[in-house]
Structure 1
Amino acid sequence: FAACLGYVEVILQLCKQDADMNMRDVWGRTAMIAAATHLPPPLSSLNTSVSCLQRRLICIRVLKQLGANEQLQDEEGNTALHSASSDGFLEAVALLHELGCQVDRRNEEGNTSMMLAAGAGRGPVVSYLLGVRGDASLKNASSCTAVMLAA
Protein backbone atom coordinates (compact mmCIF):
# COMPACT_ATOMS: atom_id res chain seq x y z
CA PHE A 1 0.00 0.00 0.00
CA ALA A 2 1.13 3.50 -0.81
CA ALA A 3 -0.61 4.53 2.42
CA CYS A 4 1.79 2.45 4.56
CA LEU A 5 4.63 4.76 3.68
CA GLY A 6 2.70 7.98 3.36
CA TYR A 7 2.94 8.30 -0.41
CA VAL A 8 0.19 10.90 -0.81
CA GLU A 9 1.13 11.72 -4.40
CA VAL A 10 0.87 8.07 -5.38
CA ILE A 11 -2.54 7.77 -3.73
CA LEU A 12 -3.76 10.81 -5.66
CA GLN A 13 -2.45 9.35 -8.94
CA LEU A 14 -4.15 6.04 -8.25
CA CYS A 15 -7.39 7.80 -7.41
CA LYS A 16 -7.31 9.54 -10.80
CA GLN A 17 -7.28 6.05 -12.31
CA ASP A 18 -10.36 5.09 -10.28
CA ALA A 19 -8.53 2.99 -7.71
CA ASP A 20 -10.84 1.65 -5.02
CA MET A 21 -9.90 3.42 -1.77
CA ASN A 22 -11.62 0.65 0.22
CA MET A 23 -9.95 -2.32 -1.49
CA ARG A 24 -8.78 -4.99 0.95
CA ASP A 25 -5.69 -7.19 1.09
CA VAL A 26 -5.79 -10.90 1.96
CA TRP A 27 -6.14 -10.04 5.67
CA GLY A 28 -9.00 -7.63 5.02
CA ARG A 29 -6.91 -4.54 5.69
CA THR A 30 -7.68 -1.35 3.82
CA ALA A 31 -5.45 1.57 2.90
CA MET A 32 -6.91 3.48 5.86
CA ILE A 33 -5.88 0.69 8.25
CA ALA A 34 -2.43 0.56 6.63
CA ALA A 35 -1.94 4.31 7.02
CA ALA A 36 -2.98 4.14 10.69
CA THR A 37 -0.60 1.31 11.54
CA HIS A 38 2.56 2.56 13.22
CA LEU A 39 5.35 0.74 11.47
CA PRO A 40 8.79 0.59 13.06
CA PRO A 41 10.95 3.57 12.10
CA PRO A 42 13.04 3.09 8.99
CA LEU A 43 16.73 2.36 9.34
CA SER A 44 17.46 5.94 8.34
CA SER A 45 17.43 8.95 10.64
CA LEU A 46 14.78 9.95 13.16
CA ASN A 47 13.91 12.99 11.03
CA THR A 48 12.91 10.69 8.20
CA SER A 49 10.80 8.66 10.60
CA VAL A 50 8.97 11.74 11.85
CA SER A 51 8.26 13.00 8.35
CA CYS A 52 7.00 9.53 7.39
CA LEU A 53 4.53 9.62 10.29
CA GLN A 54 3.40 13.09 9.26
CA ARG A 55 2.90 11.90 5.67
CA ARG A 56 0.82 8.98 6.92
CA LEU A 57 -1.41 11.37 8.85
CA ILE A 58 -1.88 13.35 5.65
CA CYS A 59 -2.68 10.07 3.90
CA ILE A 60 -5.45 9.37 6.39
CA ARG A 61 -7.00 12.77 5.66
CA VAL A 62 -6.59 12.37 1.89
CA LEU A 63 -8.00 8.85 1.92
CA LYS A 64 -11.05 10.10 3.82
CA GLN A 65 -11.52 12.94 1.32
CA LEU A 66 -11.28 10.41 -1.52
CA GLY A 67 -14.02 8.26 -0.03
CA ALA A 68 -12.14 5.74 2.10
CA ASN A 69 -14.26 4.39 4.93
CA GLU A 70 -12.49 4.67 8.28
CA GLN A 71 -15.02 2.31 9.88
CA LEU A 72 -14.16 -0.78 7.79
CA GLN A 73 -12.83 -3.75 9.73
CA ASP A 74 -10.18 -6.31 8.79
CA GLU A 75 -10.65 -10.07 9.20
CA GLU A 76 -10.06 -9.77 12.96
CA GLY A 77 -12.60 -6.98 13.25
CA ASN A 78 -9.99 -4.26 13.72
CA THR A 79 -10.58 -0.79 12.33
CA ALA A 80 -7.94 1.83 11.60
CA LEU A 81 -8.55 3.16 15.11
CA HIS A 82 -7.91 -0.26 16.65
CA SER A 83 -4.62 -0.52 14.76
CA ALA A 84 -3.46 2.98 15.64
CA SER A 85 -4.40 2.47 19.30
CA SER A 86 -2.64 -0.86 19.60
CA ASP A 87 0.48 0.55 17.96
CA GLY A 88 0.51 3.70 20.08
CA PHE A 89 0.15 6.03 17.08
CA LEU A 90 -1.47 8.77 19.16
CA GLU A 91 -1.68 11.35 16.38
CA ALA A 92 -3.55 8.88 14.16
CA VAL A 93 -5.87 7.95 17.05
CA ALA A 94 -6.80 11.61 17.52
CA LEU A 95 -7.25 12.18 13.79
CA LEU A 96 -9.39 9.07 13.32
CA HIS A 97 -11.56 10.07 16.26
CA GLU A 98 -11.92 13.53 14.71
CA LEU A 99 -12.98 11.85 11.45
CA GLY A 100 -15.72 9.93 13.23
CA CYS A 101 -14.28 6.60 14.32
CA GLN A 102 -16.17 5.06 17.21
CA VAL A 103 -13.87 4.72 20.22
CA ASP A 104 -15.84 1.88 21.81
CA ARG A 105 -16.28 -0.23 18.68
CA ARG A 106 -15.31 -3.84 19.30
CA ASN A 107 -13.23 -6.23 17.23
CA GLU A 108 -13.93 -9.98 16.86
CA GLU A 109 -12.56 -10.67 20.37
CA GLY A 110 -14.68 -7.90 21.84
CA ASN A 111 -11.72 -5.58 22.36
CA THR A 112 -12.13 -1.84 22.06
CA SER A 113 -9.36 0.51 21.02
CA MET A 114 -8.78 1.34 24.68
CA MET A 115 -8.41 -2.33 25.57
CA LEU A 116 -5.85 -2.84 22.82
CA ALA A 117 -3.92 0.26 23.86
CA ALA A 118 -4.01 -0.73 27.53
CA GLY A 119 -2.85 -4.26 26.78
CA ALA A 120 0.07 -2.89 24.76
CA GLY A 121 1.06 -0.38 27.44
CA ARG A 122 0.14 2.65 25.32
CA GLY A 123 -0.56 5.07 28.18
CA PRO A 124 -0.89 8.27 26.11
CA VAL A 125 -3.44 6.58 23.84
CA VAL A 126 -5.41 5.29 26.82
CA SER A 127 -5.41 8.81 28.30
CA TYR A 128 -6.65 10.27 25.04
CA LEU A 129 -9.42 7.68 24.69
CA LEU A 130 -10.53 8.27 28.28
CA GLY A 131 -10.59 11.99 27.53
CA VAL A 132 -12.98 11.47 24.62
CA ARG A 133 -15.27 9.36 26.79
CA GLY A 134 -14.05 5.89 25.94
CA ASP A 135 -15.70 3.40 28.29
CA ALA A 136 -13.12 1.75 30.56
CA SER A 137 -15.76 -0.50 32.13
CA LEU A 138 -16.45 -2.52 28.97
CA LYS A 139 -15.44 -6.18 28.94
CA ASN A 140 -14.15 -8.20 26.00
CA ALA A 141 -15.19 -11.75 25.08
CA SER A 142 -12.95 -13.08 27.87
CA SER A 143 -14.61 -10.73 30.39
CA CYS A 144 -11.45 -8.61 30.66
CA THR A 145 -11.55 -4.84 31.03
CA ALA A 146 -8.85 -2.41 29.91
CA VAL A 147 -7.49 -2.38 33.47
CA MET A 148 -7.18 -6.15 33.51
CA LEU A 149 -5.42 -6.15 30.14
CA ALA A 150 -2.94 -3.53 31.36
CA ALA A 151 -2.13 -5.44 34.56
Structure 2
Amino acid sequence: MTSRDCSKDDLLEGTRMDSGIDSICPMLKSEEPREPSGDFSGPRDKLSVAEERLDSAYGSSSITVESLSEIVQDCALSSPAEEQTQELSEQENLLTTITEDGDTILHLAIIHEDILIALELIHLFPKEVLDIQNNLYQSPLHLATYLNLTDVVKGLLEKGASLELQDQDGNTALHAACQHGRTDCAAEMTRDVSSSTLAPILETQNWRGLACLHLAVLNRQHQVMMLLMKKGTDLNIQEGTSGKTALHLAVELRDITSVKLLLNRGANVDAAMYNGCTPLHLAVGRQDTAIANLLCQSGADTMLRNMEDETALDLADGNDDILALFPFDDLQISGRSVVGMKLS
Protein backbone atom coordinates (compact mmCIF):
# COMPACT_ATOMS: atom_id res chain seq x y z
CA MET A 1 0.00 0.00 0.00
CA THR A 2 1.41 3.40 -0.91
CA SER A 3 0.42 6.91 -0.07
CA ARG A 4 -0.03 9.85 -2.32
CA ASP A 5 0.23 13.34 -0.95
CA CYS A 6 -2.88 15.43 -1.28
CA SER A 7 -1.47 18.66 -2.71
CA LYS A 8 -3.01 21.76 -4.19
CA ASP A 9 -2.19 20.52 -7.69
CA ASP A 10 -4.05 17.29 -6.97
CA LEU A 11 -7.09 19.20 -5.88
CA LEU A 12 -7.15 21.23 -9.05
CA GLU A 13 -8.07 18.02 -10.87
CA GLY A 14 -11.55 18.21 -9.31
CA THR A 15 -14.21 19.12 -11.85
CA ARG A 16 -17.19 19.60 -9.62
CA MET A 17 -18.55 23.09 -9.18
CA ASP A 18 -19.53 24.99 -6.02
CA SER A 19 -23.12 25.29 -7.08
CA GLY A 20 -23.99 26.60 -3.64
CA ILE A 21 -21.57 29.50 -3.84
CA ASP A 22 -24.23 31.91 -5.06
CA SER A 23 -25.76 31.75 -1.60
CA ILE A 24 -22.56 33.14 -0.09
CA CYS A 25 -21.98 36.25 -2.11
CA PRO A 26 -22.71 37.52 -5.62
CA MET A 27 -19.02 38.23 -6.15
CA LEU A 28 -18.40 34.45 -6.11
CA LYS A 29 -21.06 33.67 -8.69
CA SER A 30 -19.78 31.80 -11.70
CA GLU A 31 -20.72 33.04 -15.13
CA GLU A 32 -21.14 29.49 -16.40
CA PRO A 33 -22.25 27.23 -13.55
CA ARG A 34 -21.52 23.54 -13.95
CA GLU A 35 -23.36 20.66 -12.40
CA PRO A 36 -21.55 18.57 -9.78
CA SER A 37 -20.11 15.41 -11.29
CA GLY A 38 -20.02 13.57 -7.96
CA ASP A 39 -23.02 11.63 -6.71
CA PHE A 40 -23.72 11.86 -2.99
CA SER A 41 -27.28 10.59 -3.24
CA GLY A 42 -26.46 7.23 -1.69
CA PRO A 43 -24.07 5.77 0.85
CA ARG A 44 -20.51 5.29 -0.31
CA ASP A 45 -18.45 2.17 0.12
CA LYS A 46 -16.70 2.73 3.43
CA LEU A 47 -13.98 0.28 2.47
CA SER A 48 -13.03 2.19 -0.65
CA VAL A 49 -9.38 3.16 -0.80
CA ALA A 50 -9.79 5.37 -3.85
CA GLU A 51 -8.06 8.74 -3.65
CA GLU A 52 -10.49 11.53 -2.90
CA ARG A 53 -10.50 15.17 -3.83
CA LEU A 54 -10.37 17.29 -0.73
CA ASP A 55 -13.13 19.53 -1.96
CA SER A 56 -15.24 19.77 -5.06
CA ALA A 57 -15.05 23.54 -5.02
CA TYR A 58 -11.40 23.54 -5.92
CA GLY A 59 -12.00 23.47 -9.63
CA SER A 60 -14.13 26.62 -9.53
CA SER A 61 -12.54 29.48 -11.40
CA SER A 62 -14.94 31.89 -9.71
CA ILE A 63 -13.41 31.45 -6.26
CA THR A 64 -10.20 33.33 -5.74
CA VAL A 65 -8.08 34.35 -2.80
CA GLU A 66 -8.99 37.96 -3.58
CA SER A 67 -12.72 37.25 -3.39
CA LEU A 68 -12.30 35.41 -0.10
CA SER A 69 -10.33 38.35 1.26
CA GLU A 70 -13.08 40.76 0.21
CA ILE A 71 -15.71 38.68 1.97
CA VAL A 72 -13.79 38.62 5.22
CA GLN A 73 -13.10 42.35 5.03
CA ASP A 74 -16.73 43.15 4.25
CA CYS A 75 -18.03 40.81 6.92
CA ALA A 76 -15.51 41.43 9.73
CA LEU A 77 -17.41 41.21 12.97
CA SER A 78 -15.75 44.21 14.61
CA SER A 79 -18.63 46.69 14.91
CA PRO A 80 -20.32 47.16 18.31
CA ALA A 81 -23.20 44.69 18.55
CA GLU A 82 -25.49 47.21 20.23
CA GLU A 83 -25.16 49.58 17.27
CA GLN A 84 -25.46 47.20 14.34
CA THR A 85 -27.19 44.09 15.65
CA GLN A 86 -29.07 43.36 12.44
CA GLU A 87 -26.03 43.96 10.26
CA LEU A 88 -23.88 41.65 12.39
CA SER A 89 -26.52 38.95 12.23
CA GLU A 90 -26.51 39.11 8.45
CA GLN A 91 -22.71 39.03 8.38
CA GLU A 92 -22.59 36.00 10.65
CA ASN A 93 -25.06 34.19 8.43
CA LEU A 94 -22.96 35.04 5.39
CA LEU A 95 -19.76 33.73 6.92
CA THR A 96 -21.32 30.47 8.05
CA THR A 97 -23.37 29.76 4.93
CA ILE A 98 -22.83 26.24 3.70
CA THR A 99 -22.47 25.55 -0.01
CA GLU A 100 -24.21 22.73 -1.82
CA ASP A 101 -21.05 20.71 -1.32
CA GLY A 102 -21.23 21.22 2.42
CA ASP A 103 -18.37 23.71 2.68
CA THR A 104 -18.22 26.82 4.78
CA ILE A 105 -16.09 29.74 3.74
CA LEU A 106 -13.48 28.42 6.18
CA HIS A 107 -13.28 25.17 4.22
CA LEU A 108 -12.76 27.21 1.04
CA ALA A 109 -10.10 29.48 2.54
CA ILE A 110 -8.14 26.42 3.68
CA ILE A 111 -8.48 24.70 0.31
CA HIS A 112 -7.12 27.81 -1.38
CA GLU A 113 -4.28 27.73 1.16
CA ASP A 114 -4.86 31.31 2.27
CA ILE A 115 -3.51 30.99 5.77
CA LEU A 116 -4.18 34.59 6.88
CA ILE A 117 -7.83 34.44 5.82
CA ALA A 118 -8.25 31.03 7.44
CA LEU A 119 -6.78 32.24 10.71
CA GLU A 120 -9.02 35.32 10.67
CA LEU A 121 -12.08 33.14 10.15
CA ILE A 122 -10.99 30.80 12.94
CA HIS A 123 -10.79 33.85 15.20
CA LEU A 124 -14.27 34.97 14.16
CA PHE A 125 -16.03 31.62 14.32
CA PRO A 126 -17.32 29.81 17.42
CA LYS A 127 -16.11 26.25 17.97
CA GLU A 128 -19.32 24.75 16.57
CA VAL A 129 -18.67 26.27 13.15
CA LEU A 130 -15.06 25.03 13.15
CA ASP A 131 -16.34 21.46 13.38
CA ILE A 132 -18.78 21.61 10.45
CA GLN A 133 -18.11 18.72 8.08
CA ASN A 134 -18.65 18.92 4.34
CA ASN A 135 -20.26 16.29 2.11
CA LEU A 136 -17.13 14.16 2.38
CA TYR A 137 -17.40 14.52 6.17
CA GLN A 138 -14.17 16.51 6.17
CA SER A 139 -13.82 19.16 8.83
CA PRO A 140 -11.55 22.19 8.36
CA LEU A 141 -9.00 20.30 10.47
CA HIS A 142 -9.02 17.42 7.99
CA LEU A 143 -8.39 19.78 5.08
CA ALA A 144 -5.65 21.75 6.85
CA THR A 145 -3.92 18.46 7.65
CA TYR A 146 -4.11 17.13 4.09
CA LEU A 147 -2.57 20.37 2.82
CA ASN A 148 0.02 20.43 5.62
CA LEU A 149 -1.04 23.88 6.86
CA THR A 150 0.49 23.55 10.29
CA ASP A 151 -0.37 27.10 11.42
CA VAL A 152 -4.01 26.56 10.54
CA VAL A 153 -4.03 23.21 12.34
CA LYS A 154 -2.57 24.93 15.40
CA GLY A 155 -5.13 27.72 15.21
CA LEU A 156 -8.03 25.29 14.94
CA LEU A 157 -6.82 23.22 17.87
CA GLU A 158 -6.24 26.28 20.06
CA LYS A 159 -9.83 27.30 19.37
CA GLY A 160 -11.07 23.84 20.38
CA ALA A 161 -11.61 22.03 17.07
CA SER A 162 -12.43 18.36 17.61
CA LEU A 163 -9.86 15.63 17.00
CA GLU A 164 -12.55 12.95 17.09
CA LEU A 165 -14.43 13.74 13.87
CA GLN A 166 -14.19 11.06 11.18
CA ASP A 167 -14.49 11.59 7.44
CA GLN A 168 -16.38 9.36 5.01
CA ASP A 169 -13.63 6.73 5.24
CA GLY A 170 -13.61 6.84 9.03
CA ASN A 171 -10.33 8.74 9.20
CA THR A 172 -9.77 11.38 11.84
CA ALA A 173 -7.44 14.28 11.07
CA LEU A 174 -4.72 12.39 12.94
CA HIS A 175 -5.31 9.37 10.67
CA ALA A 176 -4.74 11.70 7.72
CA ALA A 177 -1.53 13.05 9.25
CA CYS A 178 -0.24 9.51 9.80
CA GLN A 179 -1.14 8.35 6.30
CA HIS A 180 0.39 11.32 4.49
CA GLY A 181 3.38 11.93 6.75
CA ARG A 182 2.23 15.28 8.12
CA THR A 183 4.57 15.03 11.11
CA ASP A 184 4.29 18.68 12.18
CA CYS A 185 0.50 18.54 12.03
CA ALA A 186 0.50 15.31 14.04
CA ALA A 187 2.79 16.96 16.59
CA GLU A 188 0.31 19.82 17.00
CA MET A 189 -2.58 17.39 17.43
CA THR A 190 -0.78 15.45 20.15
CA ARG A 191 0.84 18.39 21.91
CA ASP A 192 -0.39 19.23 25.41
CA VAL A 193 -3.11 16.57 25.18
CA SER A 194 -3.61 14.37 28.22
CA SER A 195 -3.03 10.65 27.76
CA SER A 196 -6.62 9.93 28.78
CA THR A 197 -7.89 12.21 26.03
CA LEU A 198 -5.39 11.10 23.40
CA ALA A 199 -5.63 7.34 23.95
CA PRO A 200 -9.15 6.91 22.47
CA ILE A 201 -8.14 8.95 19.42
CA LEU A 202 -5.03 6.84 18.87
CA GLU A 203 -7.15 3.70 19.15
CA THR A 204 -9.91 4.90 16.81
CA GLN A 205 -10.18 2.67 13.75
CA ASN A 206 -11.32 3.83 10.34
CA TRP A 207 -13.81 1.84 8.28
CA ARG A 208 -11.01 -0.46 7.14
CA GLY A 209 -10.22 -1.25 10.77
CA LEU A 210 -6.96 0.71 10.81
CA ALA A 211 -5.74 2.84 13.71
CA CYS A 212 -3.26 5.70 13.34
CA LEU A 213 -0.19 3.52 13.94
CA HIS A 214 -1.35 1.03 11.30
CA LEU A 215 -1.58 3.80 8.69
CA ALA A 216 1.83 5.17 9.63
CA VAL A 217 3.37 1.71 9.20
CA LEU A 218 1.55 0.94 5.95
CA ASN A 219 2.83 4.19 4.47
CA ARG A 220 6.35 3.87 5.92
CA GLN A 221 6.00 7.12 7.84
CA HIS A 222 8.81 6.45 10.31
CA GLN A 223 8.90 9.92 11.85
CA VAL A 224 5.19 9.79 12.57
CA MET A 225 5.62 6.31 14.00
CA MET A 226 8.24 7.60 16.44
CA LEU A 227 5.97 10.48 17.43
CA LEU A 228 3.07 8.12 18.13
CA MET A 229 5.33 5.86 20.17
CA LYS A 230 6.49 8.78 22.29
CA LYS A 231 2.85 9.63 22.92
CA GLY A 232 2.19 6.14 24.26
CA THR A 233 0.24 4.60 21.41
CA ASP A 234 -0.64 0.92 21.87
CA LEU A 235 1.98 -0.89 19.80
CA ASN A 236 -0.02 -4.11 19.84
CA ILE A 237 -3.44 -2.81 18.81
CA GLN A 238 -4.95 -5.15 16.22
CA GLU A 239 -6.51 -3.95 12.99
CA GLY A 240 -10.13 -4.95 12.66
CA THR A 241 -10.15 -7.32 9.70
CA SER A 242 -7.54 -10.00 10.40
CA GLY A 243 -6.09 -9.00 13.75
CA LYS A 244 -2.69 -7.87 12.48
CA THR A 245 -0.61 -5.64 14.70
CA ALA A 246 1.70 -2.94 13.39
CA LEU A 247 4.53 -5.48 13.57
CA HIS A 248 2.65 -7.91 11.33
CA LEU A 249 2.09 -5.11 8.80
CA ALA A 250 5.75 -4.07 8.89
CA VAL A 251 6.84 -7.67 8.30
CA GLU A 252 4.44 -8.00 5.36
CA LEU A 253 5.92 -4.86 3.84
CA ARG A 254 9.45 -6.16 4.43
CA ASP A 255 10.10 -2.80 6.10
CA ILE A 256 12.98 -3.66 8.38
CA THR A 257 13.21 -0.08 9.66
CA SER A 258 9.66 -0.23 10.99
CA VAL A 259 10.26 -3.71 12.39
CA LYS A 260 13.28 -2.45 14.33
CA LEU A 261 11.42 0.62 15.59
CA LEU A 262 8.56 -1.50 16.87
CA LEU A 263 10.74 -4.17 18.47
CA ASN A 264 13.00 -1.60 20.12
CA ARG A 265 9.92 0.04 21.64
CA GLY A 266 8.64 -3.24 23.03
CA ALA A 267 6.10 -4.49 20.51
CA ASN A 268 4.97 -8.06 21.21
CA VAL A 269 7.12 -10.22 18.96
CA ASP A 270 4.72 -13.16 19.39
CA ALA A 271 1.45 -11.30 18.81
CA ALA A 272 -1.03 -13.56 17.04
CA MET A 273 -3.46 -12.67 14.28
CA TYR A 274 -7.01 -14.04 14.42
CA ASN A 275 -5.72 -17.09 12.52
CA GLY A 276 -2.90 -17.60 15.00
CA CYS A 277 -0.06 -16.43 12.78
CA THR A 278 2.74 -14.53 14.48
CA PRO A 279 5.09 -12.07 12.76
CA LEU A 280 7.58 -14.95 12.50
CA HIS A 281 5.05 -17.05 10.58
CA LEU A 282 4.69 -14.18 8.11
CA ALA A 283 8.43 -13.59 7.77
CA VAL A 284 9.21 -17.26 7.20
CA GLY A 285 6.27 -17.68 4.85
CA ARG A 286 7.72 -14.84 2.76
CA GLN A 287 11.21 -16.36 2.92
CA ASP A 288 12.46 -13.11 4.48
CA THR A 289 15.59 -14.30 6.23
CA ALA A 290 16.70 -10.88 7.47
CA ILE A 291 13.45 -10.10 9.27
CA ALA A 292 13.02 -13.67 10.47
CA ASN A 293 16.50 -13.47 11.98
CA LEU A 294 15.67 -10.14 13.62
CA LEU A 295 12.49 -11.59 15.14
CA CYS A 296 14.34 -14.65 16.43
CA GLN A 297 17.01 -12.43 17.98
CA SER A 298 14.20 -10.55 19.71
CA GLY A 299 12.97 -13.76 21.30
CA ALA A 300 10.27 -14.95 18.92
CA ASP A 301 8.84 -18.32 19.96
CA THR A 302 9.53 -20.72 17.10
CA MET A 303 7.18 -23.36 18.52
CA LEU A 304 3.92 -21.37 18.32
CA ARG A 305 1.30 -22.86 16.03
CA ASN A 306 -1.34 -21.13 13.95
CA MET A 307 -4.88 -22.38 13.38
CA GLU A 308 -3.55 -24.65 10.63
CA ASP A 309 -1.38 -26.30 13.30
CA GLU A 310 1.77 -24.96 11.63
CA THR A 311 4.87 -23.61 13.33
CA ALA A 312 7.06 -21.09 11.56
CA LEU A 313 9.46 -23.94 10.76
CA ASP A 314 6.73 -25.74 8.86
CA LEU A 315 6.59 -22.76 6.50
CA ALA A 316 10.35 -22.68 5.87
CA ASP A 317 9.91 -24.86 2.77
CA GLY A 318 13.46 -26.14 2.77
CA ASN A 319 15.09 -22.70 2.89
CA ASP A 320 18.46 -23.46 4.48
CA ASP A 321 18.98 -19.87 5.59
CA ILE A 322 15.65 -19.88 7.37
CA LEU A 323 16.19 -23.36 8.83
CA ALA A 324 19.52 -22.25 10.24
CA LEU A 325 17.68 -19.80 12.49
CA PHE A 326 15.91 -22.59 14.36
CA PRO A 327 17.71 -24.50 17.13
CA PHE A 328 18.07 -28.26 16.78
CA ASP A 329 16.40 -28.23 13.39
CA ASP A 330 18.57 -31.19 12.41
CA LEU A 331 17.11 -33.49 15.09
CA GLN A 332 14.51 -35.81 13.65
CA ILE A 333 12.23 -38.58 14.87
CA SER A 334 10.84 -40.96 12.27
CA GLY A 335 12.15 -38.68 9.57
CA ARG A 336 10.43 -35.57 10.93
CA SER A 337 12.04 -32.55 12.55
CA VAL A 338 11.55 -32.45 16.31
CA VAL A 339 10.85 -28.73 16.11
CA GLY A 340 8.13 -29.26 13.56
CA MET A 341 6.47 -32.17 15.30
CA LYS A 342 3.22 -31.81 17.16
CA LEU A 343 3.72 -33.18 20.63
CA SER A 344 0.93 -35.40 21.98
Which TM bucket (shorter chain)? 0.7 to 0.9
What is the CA–CA distance in structure 1 between the aligned matches of 2:251 and 2:181, rounded to whole Å?
18
Question: SS of the residue aligned with 1:21?
Answer: helix
CA contact (8 A) 2:271 2:278 kept: yes
How does 1:99-110 map onto structure 2 within 5 Å? 99-110=265-276
Higher CA-based Rg: 2
Question: SS of the residue aligned with 2:186?
Answer: helix
CA contact (8 A) 1:87 1:117 kept: no
- Higher RCO, 1 vs 2 (CA within 8 Å, ≥6 residues apart): 1
Q: Alpha-carbon deviations, 1:55-84, whole Å to 9, x = none?
A: x22211101222321111112111101111
Letter in 1 for 2:181: G
Across the aligned residues of Structure 1 and Structure 2, the Cα RMSD in angstroms comes to 1.9
TM-score between both structures, scaled by the size of structure 2: 0.37
Corresponding position of 2:184:
9
Corresponding position of 1:80:
246
Q: Say yes or no: does 1:91 pair with 2:257.
A: yes
Q: How many Å apart are 1:106 and its aligned residue?
A: 0.5
CA contact (8 A) 2:243 2:273 kept: yes
What is the CA–CA distance in structure 1 between the aligned matches of 2:177 and 2:223, rounded to whole Å?
12
CA contact (8 A) 1:86 1:122 kept: no
Corresponding position of 2:227:
62
TM-score between both structures, scaled by the size of structure 1: 0.79
Q: How many Å apart are 1:122 and its aligned residue?
A: 2.1
Q: Say yes or no: does 1:148 pair with 2:311.
A: no
Question: SS of the residue aligned with 1:148?
Answer: helix
Gaps of 5+ in 1: 40-52
Equivalences, count? 135
Corresponding position of 1:136:
302
Which protein is richer in helix relative to its size? 1
Gaps of 5+ in 2: 1-175, 318-344
What is the CA–CA distance in structure 1 between the aligned matches of 2:293 and 2:225, rounded to whole Å?
22
Identity over the aligned pairs, expressed in percent?
A: 24
What is the CA–CA distance in structure 2 between the aligned matches of 1:123 and 1:2, rounded to whole Å?
32
Corresponding position of 1:43:
none
What is the CA–CA distance in structure 1 between the aligned matches of 2:276 and 2:234, rounded to whole Å?
21
What is the CA–CA distance in structure 1 between the aligned matches of 2:264 and 2:276, rounded to whole Å?
23
CA contact (8 A) 2:285 2:316 kept: yes
CA contact (8 A) 2:236 2:271 kept: no
Q: Alpha-carbon deviations, 1:88-108, whole Å to 9, x = none?
A: 111111111111111011110
What is the CA–CA distance in structure 2 between the aligned matches of 1:25 and 1:118, rounded to whole Å?
30
Q: How many Å apart are 1:8 and its aligned residue?
A: 0.8
What is the CA–CA distance in structure 1 between the aligned matches of 2:255 and 2:179, rounded to whole Å?
13
CA contact (8 A) 1:21 1:66 kept: no
